[in-house]
Amino acid sequence: MSGYTLDDLRTIDEQCREVAANELGFDVPDVVYHLVRPEEIYFAAANGLPARYSSARWGAQFDEAYGRYQRGQDRIYELIFNTRPAHAYLMEGNSLVAQTLVIAHCLGHGYVFENNAWLGAVDREIMSRVVSAADRIADYMGAHGRDRVEDLLEACRAIAVHQSQAQLISKARVSEPVHRPRPYDVLFPAEVTADRQRVETERAALRQRFPREPQEDLLGFIEAHARGLEDWQRDVMSIVRSEQSYFLPQMRTKIINEGAAVLAHQEICQRLFLPADRYWEYERLNAGVIQPHPGQVNPYNLGINILREIMHIARDPDEEERERWSWAGQADPFEQVRSVLSTYDDEALLREFLTPKVCELSRLYAFEHIQQDPRKIRVSSREADAIRDVLIRQHTTFGIPHIEIIDADFRGRGDLLLEHQHEGIGLDDEYARGTLTQIALLWGKPCTIRTVNGRDTDAPVWFTGQPDGSSERHDSEPEAS
């Protein structure tokens, strides 16, 4: 250990909590800190959850990230899990200043975990389930061979993100068509008969359709309806699906969550270290955390700039801002931030607060990939409106295409037909085909998806994946062969 004890860390946590509660109004429940070797922190990060089931996937992720760490290209300072209590990992060997920053940072996360409506939808008692799932998967590996279970896990993970994303919103059901009598029906008997017939046919068609309504919970549907699965296979599917549901709300609150954490560490550390000599070390670390990432968006950077903008509007708005926000100039800055942290997700945050000022502060630009060389990008705009559009498009879906199962008896042969509800851009050819082979593995029969070709929304394409791993592309609807 680098010249401090666990007790020193406890003292620091107390000091941080005092500032958080008194100055920021952040009341944070207890966080369990683990002081661990770098290897362990990287492994926990690769797993996504502590004590998760054993899998080669985590090993691969661990190898990659830990390799970068050993080459000096990467350094995780902190890792925190949204469980109850929250578990955070501190890296052994970091300086006391770094640990202080991390502890203060975690208090920001802890506040958001506890208060944000979206994160509140997470089952925070997940750890007992995670541990029992790990045991069961180990049993299945023993009984059916590790490879078989790993293949199944891999296939499940390929589609686990496709579940109901808006967990707070339930979808209206498709209603059956009905014949509506009209005042002058008696004058048009032929039309009335025709309409009754239409309603009957449509109803019959609807009743024959399975699923009746498009299903966006791909893994859930397959788990419930695929034939010939053994119990353990359904159990593995349900484990992967339910663990993924823990991550979805975090994906939707990444910017807001990191913004809150940076705000917490900045406010706390400025008070703790000023005017002490360790302030400069703190400043250097802080600058590293929030520096922009060229070519992408650093959520720490964008998050803190937006929250600071909100505080600024609350404290010292200009005319335009005063008109736009009723609370401008009249609210307590931290109170305003707390209310945003409690009720917003990233999409709402960006919609309302990605102002031209924030764009300039974070030096944001919108870009397009260059088709001939997807590794290169062309800057398309520095206008806030354009940037906001792109960012929001990404954040409403987290970059996950919207996919639905529309027919579980495609071509009358029990094949699965999916549809990509595109928003102007089709699916990637190679990845669609690969993913479909994974779905076919789960479903046990060929699986087809309908999407569009690139940006040509008038050109539908179909991809089919087979359980044996082969796949095809079709430019017209594939027929039963």
Partner 1 sequence: MTVVSESGLPHDAGRRDAQHHRDRLRKKITEQLKERIGEEDIIASGPEKKVRVPIKGTKRWQFILDRGQGEGVGQGDGEPGDVLGPGGDAAGQGEAGTEPGEELYEVWLDMNDVEELLFSELELPRLKPKSGTDLEAAQTVYDQIARKGPQLDKKSTLRENLLRNAKRGHVSLGGIDKPDLRYLSYRDVPKPRNRAVIFLAMDVSGSMTVERKRMARLFFYWCVQFLRSRYEQTEIVFVAHTTEAREVNEEEFFNRVESGGTKVSSVFEAVQQMQRDRYPAEDWNVYVLHVSDGDNFAADNQRTLELIRTLTEICSLVGYLEVSSSSGGSHKLSTYYEREASDLDGFVFAHAADDRQLWPALKRFFVKDDVETAIR
Q: Which of 220, 259, 303, 426 binds partner 1 (CB under 8 A)?
A: 426
Distance CA 111, CA 119 (A): 11
The window from 151-159, 183-191, 334-342, 406-414 that contacts partner 1 (CB under 8 A) reads: 151-159
Q: Please report whether residue 31 would count as binding partner 1 according to CB under 8 A.
A: yes
Can you tell me which of 143, 204, 274, 370 binds partner 1, judged by CB under 8 A?
370
DSSP category for residue 20: I
Q: Applying CB under 8 A, does 466 fall inside the site for partner 1?
A: no
Q: Does 374 bind partner 1 (CB under 8 A)?
A: yes
Site membership for partner 1, residue 42 (CB under 8 A):
yes
Q: How many residues interact with partner 1 (rule CB under 8 A)?
A: 97
User: In the bound complex, what is the minimum distance in angstroms from residue 255's beta carbon to partner 1?
Assistant: 11
Using CB under 8 A as the binding rule, whether residue 71 contacts partner 1 is answered as no
Residue pair 95/281 in contact (Cβ under 8 Å)? The answer is yes
By the rule CB under 8 A, 378 interacts with partner 1: yes
Binding segment toward partner 1, per CB under 8 A, in 197-205, 281-289, 335-343, 357-365: 357-365
| 301 in contact with partner 1 (CB under 8 A) | yes
3-state DSSP call for residue 319? helix
* Selected binder of partner 1 within 68, 196, 363, 473 (CB under 8 A): 363
- Write out the H or E segment, with its range, that includes residue 152: helix 146-159
Residue 227 binds partner 1 (CB under 8 A): no
Residue 15 in the binding site for partner 1 (CB under 8 A): no
Q: How far apart are CA 111 and CA 340, in angstroms?
A: 12
- Find, among 87, 125, 76, 93, the residue nearest to 109 by Cα: 87
Shortest spacing between CB 399 and partner 1, in angstroms: 7
| Ranges within 252-281 binding partner 1 (CB under 8 A) | none
Q: What would the two tokens of residue 469 be?
A: 């791993």
CB 45 within 8 A of CB 51: no
Q: Residue 193: exposed, middle, or buried by beta-carbon count in 10 A (0-12, 13-18, 19+)?
A: exposed
CA distances from 129 to 124, 137, 382 (A): 10, 12, 46
Is 282 a residue that touches partner 1 (CB under 8 A)? no
In this structure, which amino acid lies at residue 321?
A: E
Instruction: Decide: is 228 part of the binding site for partner 1 (CB under 8 A).
Output: no
Identify residues 386-415 at the interface with partner 1 (CB under 8 A): 387, 390-391, 393-394, 399-401, 403
Two tokens at 378?
A: 């062309």
User: Is 444:226 a contact under the CB 8 Å cutoff?
Assistant: yes
From 117-125, 246-254, 340-348, 367-375, span contacting partner 1 (CB under 8 A): 367-375
Contact between residue 463 and residue 476 where contact means Cβ atoms under 8 Å apart: no
Distance between CA atoms of 121 and 124, rounded to whole angstroms? 9
**220 touches partner 1 by CB under 8 A:** no
Instruction: Choose the stretch contacting partner 1; rule: CB under 8 A; options: 195-203, 249-257, 276-284, 419-427.
Output: 419-427
d(CA 397, CA 200): 37
State which of positions 312-341 bind partner 1 (CB under 8 A). Answer: none
Q: Could you say whether residue 148 binds partner 1 (CB under 8 A)? A: no
181 prior amide bond cis, ω within 30: no
Instruction: Give the range of 115-123, 259-267, 326-334, 422-430 binding partner 1 by CB under 8 A.
Output: 422-430
224 binds partner 1 (CB under 8 A): no
Q: Which region, judged by CB under 8 A, interacts with partner 1, from 3-11, 185-193, 196-204, 276-284?
A: 3-11
Query: Do 25 and 334 meet the contact criterion of CB atoms below 8 Å apart?
Result: yes
Rounded distance between C-alpha atoms, residue 172 and residue 149, angstroms:
37
Among 48, 50, 177, 317, binds partner 1 (CB under 8 A): 50
Q: From the CB of 184, what's the least distance to partner 1, in Å?
A: 50
Residues 437-456 that bind partner 1 (CB under 8 A): 437-438, 449, 454-455
If one asks whether residue 18 binds partner 1 (CB under 8 A), the answer comes out as no
Q: Taking Cα atoms as reference points, which of 127, 146, 113 lies closest to residue 44?
A: 127
Minimum distance, C-beta of residue 275 to partner 1, in the bound complex (Å): 26
Smallest distance, partner 1 to C-beta of residue 261, A: 17
We find the least distance from the C-beta atom of residue 350 to partner 1, in angstroms, to be: 10
Q: Where are the alpha helices (DSSP H) in 20-125?
A: 38-47, 56-70, 96-115, 117-120
> Binders of partner 1 among 84-123, rule CB under 8 A?
85, 87, 89
| Whole-number Å distance between alpha carbons of 134 and 306 | 39
Chain residues 161-180 in contact with partner 1, contact rule CB under 8 A: 161-162
**What HEC string does 51-78 produce?**
CCCCCHHHHHHHHHHHHHHHCCCCCCCE
Q: Does 147 engage in binding with partner 1 (CB under 8 A)?
A: yes
Q: Which is nearer to partner 1, 176 or 288 (CB)?
A: 288
CB of 285 to partner 1, least distance (A): 19
DSSP class of residue 463 equals E
Whether 306 and 294 have beta carbons less than 8 Å apart is answered as no
